[in-house]
Amino acid sequence: MSRRSLLFVVLAVVATCSVAAGIAVAKDGGNDKTFEYAVGLWGDMPYSDVQAQTGVPNLITDMNGADIAFSVHNGDLKAGRGTPGSATPTTCTDALYTQGLGYFNALRQPAIFTPGDNDWTDCDRNENGNFVDVERLQHERQVFFSSNQSLGQKTMTLTVQSSPTTGDGSCLGWNYTTNSTQSTACVENRRWTYKGVTYATLNVQGTCNNRCSSGAGDPAGDEAEYQARNKADLAWLDQTFDEANAQNSAGVMIIWQADPGFDTSGYQGAPKRDPKTLHETDGNPDGFFDLLSELRTQAIAFKKPVVLVHGDSHYFMVDKPLLDSSGRRVENFTRVETFGDHVTIAAGHPEWDTNDVHWVKALVDPNSRDVFAFQPQIVPANRVAVPSP
């Protein structure tokens, strides 16, 4: 072989190896979306008898037929106000939580739940039975959060925010002997790392995060309850990112109930907020500034994908609404709002009424550049405007 031919062969081999190496490098941390597993996300339901008796069972059947690793319900086991004469529990009686437990334990895979305002902070409304909100939360702790296991037919071990002495902070609970409030562990806050991604639930509520009135029967919210829980939530949020960093997690997903609002639009009734300062601008008590500020700080420092999943405003969306203090988009942050049905049309906003008894599938690939992708799962049996073909 001539020296010229030999040089050509060598160059060809080098070029081939370089291309192969380039492909390998691109695949490592690339964006091929093979997806290692899926997660079910849902919340804000049932809101009516038909949803409780038909819609949610259809959704659970659909979720059980999907290949998901676990599911998370982001709160609200009922509508904001009880329905007189309903066949299913629509006020905050014990039967409501028994019904919810039955739904979660009908799911084949591990099921995680975080409370919603309609199932505790709003229970002091006259239409919901005029309960003490903190007592109803304490009851939820007994029903859903009595151990470190998830709900569902197959369970999963979770880390629990269980002891004020460990620096987690403490919430207000209820002493059934004295019928008064007392400090208690925030056992509803949960965390788990699954196949390279860290997840956490936080008890964060709509209606100003319990800082303002939830309606007739609740004149001014519960500032003491908010302050204690907010401190605990902040500690739990920081510890979640500490674990994600310690585990070298590929991403973080935070799940809570409230739509905190990210801009001045007030879209779907969300709080209006200066996107740079994150201060609320609509005159209502701001129950989210501390958490949003800390979430922004942690997301920017983490650099890898961070997702906030919430309900509350009942409008499915996936977007990137978080800006830094200079007004630049925080590119690694994604907001996912799950489906939810209002049932009763809000005054002046008929477009807010929906038939959305559906769920969201999160596709997770720790080796992919974006880690998360999201697919709306329209339950065929729950289609209304356009029946399933």
Q: What is the pLDDT of residues 341-379, one digit of tens each?
A: 766 555 566 655 567 999 999 999 999 999 999 999 999
Distance, CA of 16 to CA of 10 (rounded, Å)? 10
Structure confidence at residue 11 (pLDDT): 40
Distance, CA of 194 to CA of 180 (rounded, Å)? 39
pLDDT in tens, 10-67: 344 434 443 333 333 334 556 666 799 999 999 999 998 999 999 999 999 999 999 9
- The rounded mean pLDDT for the chain is 89
Distance, CA of 87 to CA of 291 (rounded, Å)? 38
Residues counted in the chain: 389
**Residue from 273, 256, 334, 258 nearest 302 by CA:** 334
Number of CB atoms found within 10 A of residue 50's CB: 16
Residue 110 in this model has a pLDDT that exceeds 70: yes
pLDDT in tens, 138-157: 999 999 999 999 999 999 99
Structure confidence at residue 59 (pLDDT): 97
Structure confidence at residue 213 (pLDDT): 84
Instruction: Quote the Cα angle for 79-84-85, to 5°.
Output: 115
Structure confidence at residue 388 (pLDDT): 87
Which CATH number is associated with domain 38-382? Answer: 3.60.21
Distance, CA of 340 to CA of 337 (rounded, Å)? 9
Answer whether 19's CB lies under 8 Å from 347's CB. Answer: no
Distance, CA of 192 to CA of 199 (rounded, Å)? 5
Rounded mean pLDDT, 302-311: 98
Rounded mean pLDDT, 223-228: 96
Structure confidence at residue 175 (pLDDT): 97
Structure confidence at residue 14 (pLDDT): 39
Each domain of the chain, given as residue ranges in start order, spans 38-382
Helices first, then strands: H and E counts in the chain: 8, 14
Residue 166 in this model has a pLDDT that exceeds 80: no
Distance, CA of 240 to CA of 202 (rounded, Å)? 10
Alpha helices, DSSP H, located in the chain: 3-27, 49-50, 56-64, 94-105, 133-144, 206-209, 223-246, 289-302
Answer whether 77's CB lies under 8 Å from 100's CB. Answer: yes
Contacts with 11 (C-beta within 8 Å, 6 or more apart), sequence order: none
Structure confidence at residue 207 (pLDDT): 86
Residue 288 tokens, joined: 């989210």
**3-class state of residue 136 by DSSP:** helix
Distance, CA of 58 to CA of 37 (rounded, Å)? 22
pLDDT in tens, 307-353: 999 999 989 999 999 999 999 999 999 999 999 976 655 556 665 55
pLDDT in tens, 227-285: 999 999 999 999 999 999 999 999 999 999 999 999 999 888 899 999 999 999 999 99
Structure confidence at residue 9 (pLDDT): 41
pLDDT in tens, 80-101: 999 999 999 999 999 999 999 9
Start-to-end Cα distance in the chain:
68
Residue 46's Cβ-side half-sphere holds a number of Cα atoms within 13 Å equal to 29
Structure confidence at residue 46 (pLDDT): 94
Task: Give the Å distances, CA to CA, from 335 to 241, 259, 288.
Answer: 17, 10, 15
Distance, CA of 132 to CA of 324 (rounded, Å)? 39
Rounded to two decimals, the pTM is 0.90
